[in-house]
């Protein structure tokens, strides 16, 4: 990786970086980028052997997160939380005003 590219990345990330640090990063980036290339190549080979119609890009396009759903009953933990609170008012946690 070129020093100019590292400088651009540092500017985008708003990181101050010295010339010595950039040279060290340039040496570190090359093996990392080579490894990423190997992973991309493995994905291409894997997708060629796959009999489905999926392309390599399709593996990264689905949401792996669970659906956002309520799993407890309303008020189920209210008494436990209020019992541990230092100050309560009208069934709510009372906190100091910050503004």
Q: What is the pLDDT of residues 29-79, one digit of tens each?
A: 888 888 998 888 887 776 665 555 656 565 566 667 778 888 888 888 988
pLDDT value of position 74: 85
DSSP for 22-50, written as a single string: HHHHHHHHHHHHHHHHHHHHHHHHHHHH-
Report the number of distinct structural domains present in the chain: 1
Question: Using 50, 70 and 90 to split pLDDT, how confident is the model at 84?
Answer: very high
| Domain contains 82 | no
C-alpha distances out from residue 1 to 6, 22, 65, 99, Å: 7, 10, 34, 49
| Domain contains 59 | yes
| Domain contains 93 | no
pLDDT value of position 87: 92
Residues paired with 88 in a beta bridge:
93
- The domain containing residue 53 runs over which residues? 1-64
| Domain contains 69 | no
DSSP E strands, the chain: 88-89, 92-93
| Domain contains 13 | yes
pLDDT over 80 (residue 24): yes
Count of Cβ atoms closer than 10 Å to residue 10 Cβ: 15
Taking the C-alpha atoms of residue 90 and residue 78, their distance in angstroms, rounded to an integer, is: 13
């Amino acid at each position: 990786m070129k020093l100019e590219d590292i400088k651009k990345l540092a500017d985008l990330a708003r990181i101050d970086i010295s010339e010595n640090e950039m040279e060290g990063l340039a040496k570190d980036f090359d093996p990392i980028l080579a490894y990423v290339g190997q992973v991309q190549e493995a994905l291409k080979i894997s997708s060629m052997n796959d009999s489905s119609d999926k392309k390599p890009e399709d593996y990264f396009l689905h949401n792996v997160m669970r659906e956002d759903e309520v799993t407890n009953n309303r008020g189920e933990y209210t008494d436990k939380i209020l019992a541990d609170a230092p100050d309560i008012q009208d069934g709510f946690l009372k906190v100091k005003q910050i503004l």
